[in-house]
């Protein structure tokens, strides 16, 4: 059992709203959008110089609740609790850690399920199309609000790693280092294909109703199916073989019917049903499309040219069994950084857990990340 010394304890989410009088932010699609509410949490203490801040950016289905509990009866910790706290990889006795829900999300930050003040109804599919860069712009406004001019690091896995890369390129004066875990500099055809299947599952559910289902029957079957497809990409052949194999559920022989007889079938159904309870189908559509559009080098004439803008030190970590964003994609980032003469460290961790390794292999990650941050923080002393 984790020692209370290493626990964040009870945390409370915070909200920051902007864009009521100043027009919000300019989106990549050319629109100006606002007002925007940002849900965020902080852990640790900001020092007097305001120089010890770390920004954690979450993956697709994550949110601002990265560590601790929201109440004494809360049964689950934040999604990266094993990494954030006193003495952990992101040591809150040293760092002031910030995590916010992304633009387009459904866990407190403005997204399709939020109320459009112009109509008094949920945005639904009138919400503007957004990009990873738009998410980062909103995070920058939050940091400005918190009067933080420099970050020790921006760190994230998967979609969070994409945001960390964008941060380093878009705001080089703010980012002293970036930690990129199980990520890519652009989504490939396979990634786009899986996202397309997920969106199709939702949009062909009759209950989706062109995105106008709030206060009505939600497209639960479509969203659950989308999650099942996505969850397969987070696992690996080895992890599924170790955990499930061909084990049957509550029986010893085949039933020769179409029920979920295999353990893996039951597991995926359970994951899909759980996801429906906490995620909005329209947010799935918008965020997955933001992933599709992500191509860090596109706006700068190439990946090396984009990363040449950065002044940060980089730590890139990949995982051997990750087939969603495999190691060769991390190496593309590393080689582009080397071509641009940037300070970069890279390691591939051997792990059987597939893409989810960055959430599960925290003990090994913590040692590498904390050592890396010591080299970054040492430059300030």
Tally Cβ neighbours within 10 Å of residue 186.
18
Query: Which of 222, 230, 265 is CA-nearest to residue 246?
Result: 265
Q: Where are the beta strands (DSSP E) in 187-323?
A: 313-319
- The reported pLDDT for the residue numbered 219 is 98
Architecture of domain 4-186+295-378: 3-Layer(aba) Sandwich (3.40)
- Summarize pLDDT for 17-69 with one digit per residue, the tens: 999 877 799 999 999 999 999 999 999 999 999 999 999 999 999 999 999 99
- The reported pLDDT for the residue numbered 247 is 92
- Scan for tokens 């970054």, then name that residue: 376
Q: How far apart are CA 133 and CA 239, in angstroms?
A: 33
Residue 379 has pLDDT above 60, yes or no: no
User: What are the residue ranges spanned by the domains of the chain?
Assistant: 4-186+295-378, 192-287
- Summarize pLDDT for 244-274 with one digit per residue, the tens: 999 998 888 888 888 888 999 999 999 999 9
Domains 4-186+295-378 and 192-287 share a fold: no
- Summarize pLDDT for 141-166 with one digit per residue, the tens: 999 999 999 999 999 999 999 999 99
On whether the pTM is more than 0.85, the answer is yes
Q: What are the residue numbers of the active site? A: 158, 322, 355
Are residues 49 and 69 in contact, defined by beta-carbon separation less than 8 angstroms?
A: no
CATH code of the region 192-287: 1.10.1740.110
Query: Which of 70, 55, 254 is CA-nearest to residue 170?
Result: 55
């Amino acid at each position: 059992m984790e020692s209370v010394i290493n626990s964040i304890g009870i945390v409370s989410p915070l909200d920051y709203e902007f864009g009521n009088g100043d027009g919000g932010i300019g989106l990549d699609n050319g629109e100006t959008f606002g007002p925007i509410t940002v849900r965020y949490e902080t852990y640790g203490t900001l020092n007097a110089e305001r120089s010890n801040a770390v920004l954690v950016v979450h993956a697709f289905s994550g949110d601002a609740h990265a560590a601790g509990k929201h109440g004494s009866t809360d049964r689950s910790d934040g999604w990266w609790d094993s990494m954030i706290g006193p003495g952990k990889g992101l040591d809150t006795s040293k760092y002031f850690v910030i995590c916010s829900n992304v633009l387009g999300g459904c866990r407190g930050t403005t997204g399709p399920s939020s109320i459009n003040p112009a109509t008094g109804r949920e945005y639904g599919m009138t919400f503007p199309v957004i990009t990873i860069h738009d998410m980062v712009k909103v995070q920058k406004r939050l940091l400005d609000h918190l009067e933080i001019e420099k970050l020790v690091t921006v760190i994230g896995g998967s979609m969070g790693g994409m945001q960390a890369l964008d941060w380093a390129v878009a705001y080089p004066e703010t980012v002293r280092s970036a930690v990129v875990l199980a990520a890519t500099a652009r989504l490939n055809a396979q990634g786009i294909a899986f996202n397309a299947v997920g969106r199709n599952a939702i949009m062909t559910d009759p209950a989706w109703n062109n995105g106008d289902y709030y206060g009505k029957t939600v497209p639960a079957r479509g969203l659950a199916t989308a999650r099942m497809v996505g969850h397969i990409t987070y696992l690996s052949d080895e992890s599924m073989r170790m955990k499930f194999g061909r084990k049957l559920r509550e029986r010893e022989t085949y039933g020769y019917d179409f029920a979920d007889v295999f353990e893996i079938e039951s597991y995926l159904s359970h994951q899909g049903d759980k996801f429906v309870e906490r995620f909005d189908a329209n947010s799935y559509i918008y965020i997955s499309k933001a992933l599709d559009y992500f191509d860090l080098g596109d706006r700068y004439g190439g990946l090396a040219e984009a990363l040449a803008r950065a002044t940060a030190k980089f730590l890139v970590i990949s995982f051997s069994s990750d087939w969603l964003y495999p190691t060769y994609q991390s190496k593309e980032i590393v080689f582009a950084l080397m071509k641009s003469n940037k300070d970069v460290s890279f390691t591939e961790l051997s792990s059987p857990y597939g893409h989810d390794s960055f959430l599960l292999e925290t003990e090994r990650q913590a040692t590498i990340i904390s050592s890396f941050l010591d080299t970054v923080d040492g430059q300030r002393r």
